[in-house]
Structure 1
Amino acid sequence: MTSTLGLVLRSLTVPLADAPSLDAALREDSLCWVLRDEGMVGFGALSEFSVRGPERFTQAHHWWATLTADAVIEDRVNLHGTGPIAFGSFTFSKVSEHDSRLIVPRLVLGLREGSAWLTMNSFQDDLSEERAKAELTEQLATPTSEQTHALADFELTTGSLSEAEWMAVVAAGVAAINAPTAGSRAVQKLVLARDIVARSAEPISRAKVLGQLISRYRECWTYGVGNFVGATPEMLVEIQSGVARARVLAGTVDRAGAPEDQDYPRRMLMNSEKQREEHEFAVKSLVRELAPFAADLSVPREPFVLELPNVWHLASDVSAELASSGDHLPGTLALLEALHPTAAVCGTPRLEAGALIRELEHLERGPYAGPVGWLDAHGNGEWGIGLRGAVLETAHTARLYAGCGIVGASDPASELAETWAKFRPMLQALGVQA
């Protein structure tokens, strides 16, 4: 944890007439949040807060509120994401041994709505447009790794459980759903995850991994916070000007080997009782937790089919006008604490599903399936669910994660195949798959 006691945060945001593309700006230690070529790339860590435990969201909120309360901010652009921001990643579990963190970059290069900007943050009175641009030029001159990988460069091994062991866990989860223990609330949906490990003889280029994800998965939010990288299709919550939006995903069909039939994904998802049930649990979970913060909620009557390069998902976009308490809207991190974990990554009911995960899964999820994204000094932010990702554990090792929603009709072999479809984005980005 970086101490900021007695220091005043100063921030300058200026427009850029000639900015590089965000993927071209990536460096090995860059912070990243990009969707369809728009978003932000951060350079350097001016200040960082790390925390563990059940109070991680509350403590992070206190740190950020204290840091920004008296900040001196000059924002000449005034778009979503300008001014001082912190990139963040929070663990799935409140008892995780991994750190949750917020990082304030020295520089942020942003692009949104056709406008580019540069933000410079400091604890000294050294901000100027000329200095900010000079430091950006210096950052961009730093070479990234030239390392590229081929299939032969990597060895893939199972992680905490073998495939057979994980399928046995899924079978146990299905049995628990179909035959609940007397005296406890029945679990209706359970999300079980597994991990695999990719080891390379040569160092892994983090910048190239992020660049591949941005290029291949344009409808996903590509994130990079510390050693956690990935491209998530699921928005836990975006807050902008008092409106919260979320994209809920549940229900999956693999595109590999699918027939050339345009109606196939809709038929397999919209007409499947199992897929619709799984999705409905996830939407109801989000709406239930979001409702206390909302003056008005908009929930679609029917989901739509989201097409990604590796899979199709059932998706629903939910929005809410946030209700103020006095003169204040709910804080970004307070919303995260209330919404996480949703049924899409935990199950329902939440407490019973979480207890069953701890009993069955045998996996330290770390930041996987936790909130990842950014927040600003005005209560705005974008927080995805940390899916389709990996932790780069060493220069040569990446641990990949994938999970599946389990309901009473789930088949362990089919769920195992679904995890491989969900591993595919990171395997492609690493160069393990074409």
Structure 2
Amino acid sequence: MTSQLSAAPGTQPPGTVPLLRSITIQRPAMSEHGLLDYITRDESLVWSRHGEGTIGFGQVARFESTGAERFALARHWWDAISEAADVQDPLQQPGTGLIAFGAFAFSFSSSYASRLIVPKIVVGRNETCSWITYTVADPEAELSAEAAETELAGLLEDYSPEHELGAGADKLVAGQISEQAYRESVLKGVSVIESGAVTKLVLARDAVAELASPIAVAQVLRQLALRYNDCWTYSVDGLIGATPEMLVRVRGDFAEARVLAGTLDRATAPSDDPDYAHRMLLEDEKQRHEHQLAIDSLTEQLGPLASGMDAPDEPFVLQLPNVWHLASDVKATLATRADGSVPGVLDLAEVFHPTAAVCGTPTKEAGRILRELEGMDRGPYAGPVGWIDTRGNGEFGIALRGGVVESPTSVRLYAGCGVVAASDPAAELAESWAKMRPMREALGI
């Protein structure tokens, strides 16, 4: 287990908690494109859906950690940051004031450093208003609406170049796990399930996009946000994508999650059968079984933390441009703890992760088997990604339908599929390709 605390160059030395000052100012309503107009820089921090969310620029503080205590260490650091900060936030809404963007490794054994990043500038939008937050670590820096707008204007003028899509020189190559190796791992997974060790495993694979010219991250994010507007488009330190699955959202004492398990590729669907998705998902025993395992796992973990919970008996079919999913939205009122507080979003992210939908059932045993069977380090794939504010509000999705930028011309894509006793290796491989389609399309491959 390791951890690193740091601030932006020229502010606080490593190993200290920087003393931050922050101001939030309400802004005029945005255009119909919403936050899409602000996704102009490749290094931006992004969390956006339906034109709402937050976009961060720059960095004034940063935390990194690996190991089993990565969530606890991040929470302690963020609590210390929040307690020490001078925050001027007249709006007092989820996401206003001082916030941090975060991405966490899927596994405690991963070499990927889980991280929280406090941006210098945040532009935000929700259903009622738009705002800008300006944060500094320099005690002499001017903190005002004028200074914030000047800083933002300079950032927006220096936009990142675009990448020529579909030029033909870009290609997708095998990653750590070949197609044949993946089919073999599915077969082994089915054997493990038939032995009774687990009832479900979620097996992942990777592929590498090799580009002829440097990736234009901002362009990819805009493509994802436009095509997959029902998903949460995210970007944190090279981890990019558009996830359909919300691990947990917290607003005060109210929490909710979107659970997905059960997938159907739209590319192979008949065009003259309007009931196809309903029949193949809602009426399919394998798909319903896989989905119910994920729901049961979440509600079992949430139960002790909630004073009331709404978990629907029937899932719905979520339609995305590439696939259909069985989906359920679980909502809960959080129980008050002995100290009078309620769990924050980082507390719940730690409790819920990993879900059965991205690991298996039971999750602890499935995780152990995955480390032996999968043959790769997932890094942040299928880990929590999102943001937190100083009041414990926040949103963390599951880092799906995305990839990790490993070099200016290389992006590693990931996808995973739920394996149960009835799984077919060829079908699971095809499903993994369908789940990589959003990133392949956005990259022009």
Alpha-carbon shift at residue 6 of structure 1 (Å): 6.2
Alpha-carbon distance in 1 for matches of 2:331, 2:353:
17
2:20 equivalent in structure 1: 9
Question: For the Cα contact (< 8 Å) 1:190–1:348, is it kept in 2?
Answer: yes
132 and 251 in structure 1: CA distance in 2 versus 1, 3 angstrom threshold:
same
CA contact (8 A) 2:6 2:17 kept: no
- Alignment of 1:156 onto 2:172: yes
Q: Distance in 2 between the 1:370 and 1:132 partners?
A: 32
Corresponding residue of 2:223: 212
Of 371-380 and 15-24, deviating more is: 15-24
Can you give the 5+ residue segments of structure 2 that lack an aligned partner in the other structure?
none
| SS at 1:2 equivalent | strand
Provide Cα deviations, 1:10-53, integer angstroms capped at 9, x if missing partner: 11110111646322212111000000110111000111101111
Which consecutive residues of structure 1, in runs of 5 or more, have no partner in the other structure? 181-185
One of 122, 140, 143 as aligned partner of 1:127: 143
Hey, what's the Cα distance between the residues in 2 that align with 1:418 and 1:151? 26
Q: Report if the CA contact (8 A) 1:148-1:205 is conserved.
A: no
Q: What secondary structure does 1:223 align onto?
A: strand
Report deviation, 1:153.
2.4
Deviation at 1:264, TM superposition (A): 0.8
User: Could you tell me which residue of structure 2 aligns to residue 287 of structure 1?
Assistant: 299
Look up the match of 1:140: 156
Hey, what does 2:57 align to over in structure 1?
Answer: 43
Letter in 2 for 1:88: G
Query: 1:89, 1:101 within 8 Å by CA — same for their partners in 2?
Result: yes
> Could you tell me the percent identity over the aligned residues?
51
1:191 is matched with 202
2:250 corresponds to 1:239? yes
Instruction: Give the counterpart of 1:273 among 258, 282, 285.
Output: 285
Which amino acid letter does the alignment assign opposite residue 42 of structure 1?
Answer: G
- Indicate the residue corresponding to 1:318 in structure 2: 330
Q: Which residue of 2 aligns with 1:259?
A: 270
Give the drift of 1:114: 4.3
In the alignment, residue 366 of structure 2 is paired with which amino acid? A
Q: Does the 8 Å contact 1:392/1:399 carry over to 2?
A: yes
Query: Match of 2:206, SS?
Result: strand
Paired with 1:239 and 1:192, the residues of 2 have a C-alpha distance of 29
2:402 equivalent to 1:386 = no
- 2:84 alignment partner AA: D
Contact 2:261 2:418 (C-alpha < 8 Å) held by counterparts: yes
Aligned CA distance change for structure 1 residues 135 and 330 (closer, same or farther; 3 Å): same
Matching residue of 1:81:
95
Whether 2:360 is the aligned partner of 1:344: answer no
Q: Which segments of structure 1 move beyond 4 Å, counting only runs of 4 or more?
A: none
Q: Is the 8 A contact 2:17 2:77 kept in 1?
A: no
Q: Is it true that 1:175 corresponds to 2:188 in the alignment?
A: no
The more displaced of 265-274 and 74-83 is 74-83
Q: Are 1:424 and 2:437 an aligned pair?
A: yes
Q: CA deviation at 1:77?
A: 2.4
CA distance in structure 2 between the partners assigned to 1:146 and 1:316 by the alignment: 37
**Alpha-carbon deviation of 1:151?**
5.3
Q: So what's the TM-score if we normalise by structure 1?
A: 0.96
Query: 1:28 & 1:302 partners in 2: Cα distance?
Result: 40
**What residue number does 2:315 align with?**
303
> For residue 177 of structure 2, what is the amino acid of its counterpart?
L
User: AA paired with 1:61?
Assistant: R
Could you say which residue in structure 2 is the equivalent of 1:183? Answer: none
1:374 match: 387
Aligned partner (choices 214, 232, 238) of residue 203 of structure 1: 214
Could you tell me how far apart the structure 1 residues matched to 2:153 and 2:60 are? 18
* 2:259 equivalent in structure 1: 248
CA separation in 1, counterparts of 2:396 and 2:157? 30
**Contact 2:307/2:332 (CA < 8 Å) preserved in 1?**
yes
Rounded to whole Å, the distance in 2 between the matches of 1:144 and 1:371 is 27
How far is 1:148 from its partner?
2.2
Give distance in 1, aligned partners of 2:167 and 2:274: 32
1:130: Cα distance to partner? Answer: 0.3
1:179, CA displacement in angstroms?
Answer: 2.0
